[in-house]
Amino acid sequence: METDDIIARISQKLKAQGIEPRPEKIASKINRLVTEFGVPPSEAERTILQDTFKEHGIEQPKPSAPSSDAVGIGTLVPGEWVTVEGKVVSVTEPPSPAVAQTGVIADDTGAVRFVIFAKNAPALLRVGEWFRLESAVVDEFRGLANLKIHAGTTVTPINDDRPLTPEITRIADLRPGIASVTAKIVQDWEVRHDRMLQTGLLGDESGTMKFVIWKGGSDRKLEPDTAYTFAYVPVEEYNGRLSLTIDPASCTPVDSEIAVSAGPAGSEEPMPLFEGKIISVRHVGSETVRESGIIATPDGAYAFTIWGDAQIPALEQGNWYAIEGATKGMFRGAPRISINQDAVLSPVEDRFLPPPPATPVADLAPGIATVRVKLAQEWESRSERMLQAGLVGDETGVIKFVIWDGEGVEQIQENIVYTFFYAAVEEYNGRLSLDLTHATPLPDEDADIEVSRGGKSISGALVHIASGSGIVKRCPVEGCNRVLSRQNFCPVHEFQPGFQYDLRIRGTLDDGQTAHNLLIQREAVEKLFSMTLAEAQDIAENQPLGADEVARQLGDRALGRYLTVTGREFEGLFIAFDAKWLFFDPARHTALINRAGGDLA
């Protein structure tokens, strides 16, 4: 549908320049840019239009000629120059000194936020009055249409107060932007922010939504259980949830009874009836969370949360239950089962649960896992509540662990291999750690494992490749190994025609915080590029550009790519004996989506 709109707009603009549009060709270009190259639709539209104008030798016209006919505010599309006539229904304190005024302007088709920048600002608008704005620009600010009134905008007051009735939107139909609602205040929450005057929940027949009143306005509060009409209020999105920012001065009590329906659920998936064994359960007892713990099900073990509104008896550790009406969602990057008021639970007979297989440390992912590890390093505890912290490891690698103090919790001992059943694998800032506090340890005093200590690994983008990368010649004198010049000259041993070749990459691996000087050694370079030293030597000796050609080929394939390198840091130079390309990780993608908004606030 969006594609059709873009085609229509492009066609119209081409026609205005006397070019006959070809919708199929435009559609295929949109598809290529948007689908294949992930270009935002607005940028694709602009690109296609400009490229087509260029093909026809037309000088780039202004975004669109300022039209003198006023358009409906509800129809504004970012990227256009427009003339509108509307009533200023509110003005707000400018968010920064660069802004002279912000507010909301409305006509009978809708409402939009406007902004006037301090630099070269035309006259400010007065609330409650009508204005004609010629040559204003619709742009996008934080994902919403925003009307920009700039030095070139002609602002003319309209001296008659036209009737304007806000159109009421049902709460379930609200989208980020400006809207008017009629709703009843159903909950008054405790205020936890200095600048906040009141917050709570309001609702209508279609659902409920959070509202906020900031201090600095009329300091009037809304009465619980009272219905109001809120005209032209901002609907904002935070963490994937909408809320209304209300100015009590612009709301009017209404005399109608509203039957408020309960709010919509989150992004949890309902689960079919399942059976599981309670591995551990802890009483939390807060207003929202009653208990939490770990449950083993036939398809794996999960963390679970019993919410405050759940209507089920207390769970017994070690018992089996059949659970119906639970939901599954993601919490902090790991799957989690939620048991709330809709869940029904019945005890079922105890039965054999095969011990879960151990996961190699290198393969751990956020969630619940069983590991077979040995203490590799013990760290000084940094908090009273922390019983023990450090590294545990197996043949595949090491991982940070923590054990929190608590009843019956013990430290782990050196030189003993433990199997920890149902440990919590947590992720923080992209790094995994194990919480062994509630895991069940099983020491195996006869066993031993070789913990892989490896080198240090760092990941980042290769943002620079230095000269001296690729194939180089080294001085063959015992213990020298210096890189020779093009003329085979060693700074110490002079001309050395009997040189040896080597392959390496010198450059900068940048993780966004630190730019590491990096040297990737031959074995790692060969593996990374599937190019042996012999093949590189063949290119260097037989192609016109010689060694430069090797450097160019490696550079083209490595620059701007992500790598994980393993090795040791030595006087500010990271020497890598292993290097791997980094690939897209769907689990990291999911975890980030949760972190950016799928999670609880």
Partner 1 sequence: MTERFQNYVREPAKRVFAAEMRDARHSFRVGDDEKSPTYLLLPTGERCNRVFIVGSLTQKERVGEQNSMYRARVADPSGTFFITAGSYQPEAMQQVARIEPPAFVAVVGKPNAYETPDGKVLISIRAETVTPVDRDIRDLWVLDAADATLDRIDAFGDSQDAETARAEYNPNLASYKKMVYDALTAIRQ
CB of 365 to partner 1, least distance (A): 15
CB of 17 to partner 1, least distance (A): 18
**In this complex, which beta carbon is closest to partner 1, that of residue 453 or of residue 493?**
493
Contact stretch for partner 1 (CB under 8 A) within 230-238, 263-271, 358-366, 372-380: 230-238
**In this complex, which beta carbon is closest to partner 1, that of residue 391 or of residue 531?**
531
| Rounded Cα distance, 153 and 107, in Å | 18
Which residues lie below 8 Å from residue 508, measured CB to CB, with a gap of 6+? 462, 463, 464, 466, 515, 516, 517, 518
**In this complex, which beta carbon is closest to partner 1, that of residue 50 or of residue 413?**
50
Q: Is 71 left (phi over 0), alpha (psi -120 to 50) or beta?
A: beta
Torsion of CA 563, 567, 568, 571, to 10 degrees: -50
What single DSSP character describes residue 69? S
Q: Which of 191, 67, 194, 198 is nearest to 138 (CA)?
A: 67
CB of 463 to partner 1, least distance (A): 5
Q: Which of 175, 468, 545, 568 binds partner 1 (CB under 8 A)?
A: 468
CB of 226 to partner 1, least distance (A): 28
Cα dist. 511→504, 560, 584 in Å?
Answer: 21, 12, 16
Residue 37 touches partner 1, criterion: CB under 8 A = yes
DSSP string, 472-510: EEE--STTT-PBP-TT-EETTTEE-TT-EEEEEEEEEEE
User: Both tokens of residue 65?
Assistant: 């000629």
Residue 356 touches partner 1, criterion: CB under 8 A = no
| Rounded Cα distance, 107 and 69, in Å | 14
Contact stretch for partner 1 (CB under 8 A) within 195-203, 222-230, 347-355, 591-599: 591-599
CB of 20 to partner 1, least distance (A): 23
Contact stretch for partner 1 (CB under 8 A) within 9-17, 366-374, 385-393, 585-593: 585-593
Contact stretch for partner 1 (CB under 8 A) within 206-214, 235-243, 344-352, 433-441: 235-243
**In this complex, which beta carbon is closest to partner 1, that of residue 270 or of residue 491?**
491
Contact stretch for partner 1 (CB under 8 A) within 1-9, 327-335, 405-413, 560-568: 560-568
Residue 36 touches partner 1, criterion: CB under 8 A = yes
| Rounded Cα distance, 110 and 172, in Å | 18
CB of 446 to partner 1, least distance (A): 43
**In this complex, which beta carbon is closest to partner 1, that of residue 170 or of residue 464?**
464
| Rounded Cα distance, 510 and 460, in Å | 5
**In this complex, which beta carbon is closest to partner 1, that of residue 367 or of residue 598?**
598
**Phi and psi at residue 523, in whole multiples of 5°?**
-55, -40
Residue 511 touches partner 1, criterion: CB under 8 A = yes
Contact 471, 540 (CB under 8 A): yes
CB of 63 to partner 1, least distance (A): 14
Q: Which of 221, 350, 585, 600 binds partner 1 (CB under 8 A)?
A: 585
Count of residues of this chain found to bind partner 1 when the rule CB under 8 A is applied = 67
Q: Which of 514, 534, 545, 568 binds partner 1 (CB under 8 A)?
A: 514
Residue 517 touches partner 1, criterion: CB under 8 A = yes
Q: Which of 275, 325, 272, 317 is nearest to 292 (CA)?
A: 317
User: Where is 344: in which H helix or E strand?
Assistant: strand 344-348
User: Both tokens of residue 508?
Assistant: 């900068």
Residue 170 touches partner 1, criterion: CB under 8 A = no
Pairing of strands 207-214, 241-245: parallel
Q: How far is CA 350 from the centre of its chain?
A: 42
User: Both tokens of residue 308?
Assistant: 């405050």
Q: Which of 68, 256, 411, 429 binds partner 1 (CB under 8 A)?
A: 429
Q: Which of 485, 494, 545, 600 binds partner 1 (CB under 8 A)?
A: 485
**In this complex, which beta carbon is closest to partner 1, that of residue 381 or of residue 580?**
580
Q: Which of 491, 493, 541, 543 binds partner 1 (CB under 8 A)?
A: 491
Which residues ranging from 103 to 162 are in contact with partner 1 (CB under 8 A)? Answer: 117, 119-120, 142-143, 150-152
DSSP string, 358-374: PPPGGG--SEEEEEEEE
| Rounded Cα distance, 507 and 554, in Å | 12
Contact stretch for partner 1 (CB under 8 A) within 107-115, 253-261, 290-298, 578-586: 578-586
**In this complex, which beta carbon is closest to partner 1, that of residue 174 or of residue 231?**
174
User: Both tokens of residue 336?
Assistant: 């989690």
| Rounded Cα distance, 248 and 253, in Å | 10
User: Both tokens of residue 534?
Assistant: 């012999």
CB of 494 to partner 1, least distance (A): 14
| Rounded Cα distance, 198 and 235, in Å | 16
What single DSSP character describes residue 578? E
How many other CB atoms sit within 10 Å of the CB of residue 560? 11
Residue 584 touches partner 1, criterion: CB under 8 A = yes
Residue 238 touches partner 1, criterion: CB under 8 A = yes
CB of 361 to partner 1, least distance (A): 22
**In this complex, which beta carbon is closest to partner 1, that of residue 168 or of residue 515?**
515
What residue ranges bind partner 1 (CB under 8 A)?
32-33, 36-40, 43-44, 47, 50-51, 95-96, 98, 117, 119-120, 142-143, 150-152, 236-240, 429-430, 461, 463-464, 468, 482-483, 485, 491, 508, 510-515, 517, 555-556, 559-562, 572-573, 582-586, 588-589, 592-593, 595-598
